[in-house]
Amino acid sequence: MWKNYLTRLVQSLPFFITGLWMTIAVSAISLAAGTLIGFFLGILRTRPNRLFRYLIGAWVDVIRGTPFLVQIFIVFFILPEFGIHLDAFPAAILALTNLGACFICEIVAAGIRSVPWGQKEAASSSGLTEWQQLRYVVMPQAMRTILPSLVGQYVLLIKDSSVVSVIGVTDVTRVGWLTVQRIPHGLMVFGLVGLLYFIICYPLIRLSNLLEKKMAKGTR
């Protein structure tokens, strides 16, 4: 029986590879867009304007405080009630991008706040504009704090991408659910699913560890 299950699982490998590429596509697009938006929001989060700080902070708290499953259901099932109809793939991108942007926003804001105030005063007294201060003084120092946490957050968001299977995106998790209906051995099927996620995430885990060590050494 085991041999029969294994043979059928091997025959299903092309479908798992297709699902793996879909997972990579959803994750890559969402992380790229989420990083850009997250950095922008994180910078605004540290500006003196209280309105920006409160509005961004409220949105980030709502997204971080609610399950991603609920968020993706809202995007896919509730937005059509307001005339916004999205297919499964763009809905997954939108929901995951929003989730990533909110977490990255807090990472960036924390990194900027970690820069000593004296550095900002020195840059200001040198005649640099606010943009120049941010670009040449604040962000290079803040990135020491931001980078390791950012890469670690990427790993979490890639794993969260498995939730998009519930709205019909044929990622590796959905392929696993479809396969287990034909091969009734959950441990074997989802063991393969877990292995494929590990293959994606492990290089980022190693990169995060290396960055933490490098940044800690640079700080000392």
% residues pLDDT > 90 (the chain) = 47
The per-residue pLDDT for 10 is 79
Per-residue model confidence as pLDDT tens digits over 13-40 = 888 999 999 999 999 999 999 999 999 9
Cβ burial 29-64 (10 Å sphere, 16+ → b, else e):
bbbebbbebbbebbbbbbeeeeeeeeebeeebeebe
DSSP 164: G
| Total of domains in the chain | 1
Whole-angstrom distance, CA of residue 66 vs CA of residue 69: 9
Whole-angstrom distance, CA of residue 117 vs CA of residue 138: 10
Per-residue model confidence as pLDDT tens digits over 64-103 = 999 999 999 999 999 999 889 999 999 999 999 999 999 9
Confidence of residue 134 (pLDDT cuts 50, 70, 90): confident
Single pTM value for the model: 0.88
Q: Which domain holds residue 186?
A: 2-219
CATH number of the domain bearing residue 135 = 1.10.3720.10
